[in-house]
Structure 1
């Protein structure tokens, strides 16, 4: 889309415009102090001039956007925002355009665009913003832009009406907005005097003008009030200003000039060339004549181009549309042709519609509609296509592709299939696919949801090569039961709509590692989010998956797959069984509306999962799965058939039909391996192992169990494997029987199942846990082992935290008994070892010859400090809320009390101090993150604990000051600074310049 440069160019300030230092000072001050300033006043109140004059006083680069009615289309609004900003910050060019092409929600694109401003002290002005007042989506875009605008930048919105941001974006928007109103902009008597003198009207009494107009700038300058009593009704003008314009402005002009003004009203800026393109003769002569008149217009410096005051132009347009229809249509058509010549195609479309020239509009729409859809302005594209329906009997290829894209974007797959079938009936489908990779892929994508495999392959066979077709062929890896070809789909992420198909295929094939972290491209990352919910659920990160699920629901309407298929599974994992069934039922309605048979099959598979998982109702699950098996998709789609056979195998095992279970599961596992589809392989292989063991096929059962473990390793998670093993724990028990050591992956799985309460008999060695904070205890399989000897606890804690396989006996004597090597110390150490062995027979092993003591290989020993350290390491790799949550989990451990209370050994004291320091850093880090994410009360508690432990930490005092400011407590800001000052005085120093500057900034 080519941008109209006039819209992003600040209008000139006329040389006869009076300066108003009062207004300039007010606006300058507000702009410097507030991120957003709204200038709200009626037309003609001098809003734009005031902002332009204030901007001249500020040392900020100025970006400008004059909003038209068409800019309520949010994709177009974002494109113009990008263009306006790019004039001052070239680095943002293309950012919003790429994000829109990737179908990101428009509010998020606005946030990305705002963040891209960086540390520039940009001043962006949105003029005529009242045109967005009735457009909630457009207001949400502007609100998101303002919310994420860096603290150094500023946004000014000029509007004739109050903009209801609270309704569009929530009350938080209002916390950083200042406003200038009608009363601020009204002329004072002195300002009116200066303005009237400068405009050549010293005869007007300024005091009378102020009284009559309330200080309204245009009313004062053009004496509109004087005509109010005699123009109402004259020439049909009920508006006093219109009456004044009719009698005192237009009526005073020569007829040729008057007619020229009215005819040229379509032009935002009237130049000789533009006017002549409208078919207006002698344009240069007319403009020269008008230049000598006193009119409510602004001229460029050369006096060649004219912009009418908004209220004046509105009146001229009203007069224009009172003319006969044919004349007006011809002007609109001429203006549309000019816009096409200037490459302002979207504006041209609207003008062709106004002119009734549908054929001309069709030609332009075909060229640009794909771009409109790619930036997700679906409503605009739909409106265009509906308007062109009378002339679209034989739809051009561009419109066909557009309609297919709309069908997929709105998840109306039935509409897409109907259009594809109409093309096939007309003999055009293969021809279109051969000329357009995108068209071929869109048609195939619609057929995929309809279960039309033969048609899919027919289209792909003739389809033109391209990245879209590559994505569609990759998606067919989930359907075709053939060996998977080597591929590198990571390179197929283009930032376009087909990224969603690639991500969906990653999930269906179980390539969960490709979804664990967002792709490097932010646009591909956004396309991946729905499938990341599924990946998080499949890898056991249920809470994270739920958070992402809720966030996607809050930003825009969820897709059918996420709400109708993944939603019920997520609720079941969270234990919300009623919600799971409710979502499943409501999801069926959305699936029917979409016309997707594929989604219907996935919903049935989810229903069978819930029946087996929540109620163990094998009979009901089998009935659902029989419906899947009868459907063409259930027979032909490899991934659907494999999943159905996995669930059917579980149901058959529950009912004792072992042979049928084995045969179906063996076919499913073989198909999964052949096609490299491993999403359901851990479960299918566990079920197969159980069936084979029951039938006496012991080696095959072991092989199947090993395959399940391998598949889990490929997925990077044991979650689905553990879920299957919890249903058939005997598979794990038998596998543990043949393990020689006690630290195999199978033992880890066993311990994980024991935590879940799954009984595994006596095949799993004991789990030993040392509690170290607040109390010292040893828990064996969850039960407190009363060792009754303090040195036994200390011995186990030291060994577990040493990080070594074995520790020399002499070292133990040194650390536990302060270097004593006498008989008493040796006897005490033996007693400590003996007590531990009595509580857990295999917990220790000693080598008398080598003089070493080690933890037993058959026992897993964990400690609280080890858990705390692990959480802190994990937090270091996270950001935002995830990092805060993990830090709080670590702090919860340390907050239980002192490390190894009552243990006075030097090693314990050293580790105690080390952990205290680490925890203090973590607490301060958590406070910073809580503050950054808006959790001010939580941040205050955390930083309070930091300062209680270390009052000399100046960075914590600064955070305390920022929190107090965020809570609106200026007294607390000062109190925090003074407390910092007192604390540092004890060290013989004083607050740094950074802290002093912060105090000054917060007190402004």
Structure 2
């Protein structure tokens, strides 16, 4: 097994129960009860209180798979903590192996990765023990990782935290972890009976156990090492401030010879002492001295020739080592560093060399291991090393320079990244670095891209090592040049540059690809900013706003999202003041990053705000001129195209038609050559208007066709409709030339009219019937009101019929309870006349005893949409099916046709109510299957409110309660089921009773 694996193996090995340990049924029962009834249990007590032994004794009898991790100060590096946590869990959950490396490679925050690791446990039951947690008590970043893991740990997992001090799981004043039960000092203290057994086993039968407990307070170490008997018993015992150290000084080291004490102190740096390792530290005659120590009573364990001191004893010995003179300490640390490096414990060796002040040796070893540290995203560790090694680093340390470059990019400090790449170029090492790593080549090119240094980008790409990262950067170059897309362009690798690939998809207008989430959870997180961009571009503004809030709640949103997308989001939400504030605040951050590219995009966004909110073409032109006149403004094709699109709009608004035509032709041509169609629907519509104004009708039609084709490729008409809102005559002219009333242009016309935009030219009217919660009729987006209620019923009945027609006899039977008399006939004629008065001409016809809706009108109803969505859901699975059913249920937000009454309405109301209840049942089961327990419970409760005898929903609520670890609620839900069914004189089915028995086991 490799050396690094041996380190992990020691950390994840459950603490053994010493043979001399005293059985403590009282304590084990108490701790067992806490673990079984709580997801997280804390064991807090001072050093030497027997915390670890008590937990080790208890967990053996729990019958749960045991995962154990003994942390130390090295886990202050959160990436390392995650790696060890994964290793501990992989003992019983092999499927988590490799998750951390892939998630960290995707550039995710460590707290997010911790949550993913917890969720990856799934429905397995296990117990995780985290020992020595006091090592992380003053490291907020590490505690945040543990906190995130605890928050997302599934109900079947139990966690025990062992610490000498209380752990503050608090962020922004509020903890995300619920109240935690604690086993404390008093619980762990020996009773007189337990002390008697302990003293007997320690061969102190003459010691009065009651007196021992009285003097020590039952402190385990105090009793076992008999420190209470010393005449010098006091807090400062043995010259130590810490009581435990005082006990160790007086009752452990005092029994040893000076030579033996020196040996223990001199080898304290070793977690495992062997004769060979001790001599590597410069200790002479190690084997003989260890042989003599074997016969001494020490808080330590022997494994063959190897000596392992108890962690608290070793901690004390290290404190003694720190009292030696500085030169001796440096020598010991240097020797330890050489030993660790020889054993391939490279990260630990670097720290020891730094402790010894041997910077050149530290740099040589750091060069070998810095990549591992960066892959774990332990950036604070890397920064610490680079800062300490700055005086001795040179161009030979290629990997350290690469780490410096990656740190600059992680901080979004592109200016620094360019300086690093330029420094390598001056030293003649840039090509070497690029050729050594696809990732480093891509990183240098990415920094140059932000600076507008195109020739340097091409030089780095030419020298770069082949790989997924370089492929992503070459794909990115399609935003600048009209070059063919590379064969591997657009493929996601699960690495940090997936976000780069996704932003290229965005500017190419490839929205469907952005909305199709990656299969890997870490890739979803890494690319969700660009999914947000796609949602905005497709008009899903509310969904985008929800995603934006979620991203900001979890982590820093990054300069691109913070400085640009947030402005666009607020613009589309119609919040001008907030959008301007976000623009100015974001510009401060992007300027600090040194990104020329983002600064230019910010000026484009400024122009958009000026035109959309203020119609201020002068200010918009001034902002766009800063882009077009910038030395590299035209080098970014995708930026120049957006700027030209907004400039063309400004010119059209100013009546500068010929300039607009020239500008927009250039923009549209560039977009077509480079397949960058993000702004093509808008640019082509503006061009269609400009061409018409300058007298070229044929080119105008071609431009509008191009806009429609681009929208089809984007999978959304939103950007197209947004442009048509500014120039609806483009659409009106197309409608004049379209003989087919069902053409795509007619669909766009109806959509535009629903936005309140008036159109000239023929267009099939759209009638929308609102049926749930209220009754209303909208024609082309405007509400109309027939003067009698029966007209609403008549339209609802016809819309619900497959052929959209009915005989007069059928209408009388349905709407008038079959009363065939003169007054009923007159009432039906009146209802039909009043309906015709508010609908477009010839929308409802009466011919040959039939009343029908005309073919040329588009009629939609709430109930029709509800049934259509439920039918569509049948072809879907999992989360997609649940989302579609949820959309259907959201339509039925109230009673069907309230305040209306007829035999048909009553029957239809009952029919739809049953359909909704059945759909809620299905949605509840789907929500449970996808892990959305809260949604499942809510839906089940809604069903039971309508139909308390749906026993399947009582069973689902029981399963939800069990999944959440709430045994009491399982029983209470079963009793609720009993009471409900008791009203029918029956009892729960045997399947329900069996479920109760299974869940209580």
Mark yes or no: TM-score above 0.5: yes
Structure 1: how far apart are the matches of 2:934 and 2:423? Answer: 62
* 3-state SS of 2:842 partner: coil
Does 2:118 match 1:121? no
Cα-to-partner distance string for 1:872-899 (whole Å, 9 max, x where unaligned): 5688869889968983773463413457
**Alpha-carbon distance between aligned partners in 2 of 1:125 and 1:967, rounded to the nearest angstrom:** 21
Look up the match of 2:228.
Answer: 225
Q: 1:860 to 1:597 in 2, by over 3 A?
A: same
Q: 1-side partners of 2:385 and 2:968: how far apart? A: 59
Q: Distance in 2 between matches of 1:756 and 1:93?
A: 52
1:915 equivalenced with 2:912 (yes/no): yes
Is 2:786–2:835's contact at 8 Å kept on the other side of the alignment? no
Counting only pairs closer than 5 Å after superposition, residues 510-589 of structure 1 correspond to structure 2 as 510-589=509-588
**Equivalence for 1:759:** 758
For 2:819 and 2:243, how far apart are their aligned partners in 1? 105
How far residue 842 of structure 1 moved from its aligned partner, in angstroms, is 3.1
Task: Name the CA distance, whole Å, in 2 between partners of 1:172 and 1:471.
Answer: 37
Determine helix, strand or coil for the equivalent of 1:125.
strand
Q: Secondary structure at the match of 1:414?
A: helix
Structure 1 range deviating more: 986-995 or 305-314: 986-995
Q: Contact between 1:943 and 1:959, CA under 8 Å: does it hold in 2?
A: yes
Quote the residue 1:946 is aligned against. 943
Shift of 1:535: 0.9
Aligned to 1:253: 256
SS of the residue corresponding to residue 159 of structure 2 reads strand
Instruction: Output one character per residue of 1:965-991: Cα deviation in whole Å (capped at 9) or x when no partner.
Output: 999999998775444213323555422
CA positional deviation for 1:509: 1.2
Alignment of 1:477-516 (within 5 A): 477-480=478-481, 482-485=482-485, 487-490=487-490, 492-516=491-515
Counterpart position of 1:460: 461
SS at match of 1:518: coil
The structure 2 residue matched to 1:214, chosen from 206, 212, 217, is 217
1:368 alignment partner in structure 2: 369
1:771-810 → structure 2 map (5 Å cutoff):
771-773=770-772, 778-781=777-780, 782-786=782-786, 788=788, 790=790, 793-794=792-793, 796-804=795-803
Equivalents in 2 of 1:299, 1:993: separation in Å?
58
Matched residues in 1 for 2:51 and 2:210: separation?
Answer: 22
Partner of 2:344: 343
Match of 1:101 in 2: 105
User: Quick one: structure 1 residues 465 and 853, their matched pair in 2 at CA, closer, same or farther if it must change by over 3 Å?
Assistant: farther
Q: Which residue of 2 aligns with 1:24?
A: 28
Given the alignment of the two structures, is residue 267 of structure 1 paired with residue 264 of structure 2, yes or no?
A: no
Q: CA distance change for structure 1 residues 967 and 412 in 2, over 3 Å: closer, same or farther? A: closer
C-alpha distance in 1, partners of 2:247/2:760?
Answer: 97
Does the Cα contact within 8 Å between 2:48 and 2:244 map onto a contact in 1? no
After TM superposition, the structure 1 stretch with the greater mean CA deviation from structure 2, 318-327 or 807-816, is 807-816
CA distance in 1, matches of 2:814, 2:788: 20
- Does residue 323 of structure 2 align to residue 312 of structure 1? no
- Aligned CA distance change for structure 1 residues 970 and 425 (closer, same or farther; 3 Å): closer
User: Which one of the candidate residues 857, 861, 864 is aligned to 1:863?
Assistant: 861
Q: SS of 2:676's equivalent? A: coil
Q: Which moved more, 1:253-262 or 1:498-507?
A: 253-262
- Greater alpha carbon shift after TM alignment, 200-209 vs 443-452: 200-209
- Any conservation in 2 of the 1:568–1:581 contact (CA below 8 Å)? yes
SS in 1 for 2:268: helix
Once residues 235 and 937 of structure 2 are traced to their aligned partners in structure 1, the CA distance between those partners, rounded to angstroms, is 64
CA RMSD, aligned part only?
A: 3.6
Q: Which residue of 1 aligns with 2:767?
A: 768
**C-alpha separation in 2, matches of 1:968 and 1:69:** 34
Q: Residues 343-375 of structure 1: CA distance to partner in whole angstroms, max 9, x if unpaired?
A: 332222212212223222222222222232232
Residue equivalent to 2:380: 379
Deviation at 1:777, TM superposition (A): 5.3
Q: Kindly indicate whether residue 841 of structure 2 is the aligned counterpart of residue 841 of structure 1.
A: yes
Specify every segment of 5 or more residues in structure 1 that has no aligned partner in the other structure, as ranges: none
The verdict on how the C-alpha distance between 1:342 and 1:28 changes in structure 2, with shifts beyond 3 A counting, is: farther
Aligned to 1:443: 444
Structure 2 equivalent of residue 720 of structure 1: 719
CA distance in 2, matches of 1:796, 1:18: 84
1:402 aligns with 2:403: yes
**Matches of 1:590 and 1:863 in 2, distance apart?**
49
Is the Cα–Cα contact under 8 Å of residues 12 and 299 in structure 1 kept in the other structure? no
1:656-712 Cα shifts (integer Å, max 9, x gaps): 100000100010001101110000001101111111111111121111111111111
Task: Answer whether contact 1:743 1:857 (CA < 8 A) is retained.
Answer: no
How far apart in 2 are the matches of 1:326 and 1:874? 78
Partner SS, residue 631 of structure 1 = coil
Tell me the equivalent position of 1:730: 729
Alpha-carbon distance in 2 for matches of 1:552, 1:576? 20
Count of residue pairs brought into register by the alignment: 994
Alignment TM-score, normalising by the size of structure 2: 0.92
Instruction: Tell me the CA shift for residue 772 of structure 1.
Output: 3.1
Structure-1 separation of matches of 2:170 and 2:924: 29
Q: Take 2:185 and 2:275, find their aligned partners in 1: how far apart are those partners?
A: 36
Aligned to 1:292, what secondary structure does the other structure show? Answer: coil
- CA shift, 1:19, in A, is 1.4
Alignment CA distance shift 1:325-1:771 (3 Å): closer
CA contact (8 A) 2:869 2:887 kept: no
The structural deviation recorded for 1:932 is 11
TM normalised by structure 1 equals 0.91
Q: Which residue of 1 aligns with 2:193?
A: 190
Provide the rounded CA distance (Å) in 1 between the counterparts of 2:592 and 2:662.
37
How far is the alpha carbon of 1:169 from its aligned partner?
Answer: 8.8
**Mapped contact 1:227–1:240 kept (Cα < 8 A):** no
Q: Distance in 2 between matches of 1:144 and 1:937?
A: 20
Distance 1:741 1:240, change over 3 A: closer
8 Å contact from structure 1 (residues 511, 715) kept in 2 = yes
CA contact (8 A) 2:227 2:233 kept: no
Three-state SS of the structure 1 residue aligned to 2:948 is coil
> What does residue 90 of structure 2 align with?
86
Q: How does 1:650-665 map to 2 (within 5 A)?
A: 650-665=649-664
Instruction: Name the SS of the counterpart of 2:634 in structure 1.
Output: helix
In structure 1, the partner of 2:982 is: 985
Deviates more, 1:338-347 or 1:696-705: 338-347
Q: After TM superposition, give the deviation of residue 940 of structure 1 in Å.
A: 8.0
**After superposition, what is the alpha-carbon deviation per residue over 1:631-670, rounded to whole angstroms, capped at 9, x for unaligned?**
1332111111100000000001111100000100010001
Q: Please show how residues 622-771 of structure 1 align to structure 2 within 5 Å.
A: 622-761=621-760, 763-771=762-770
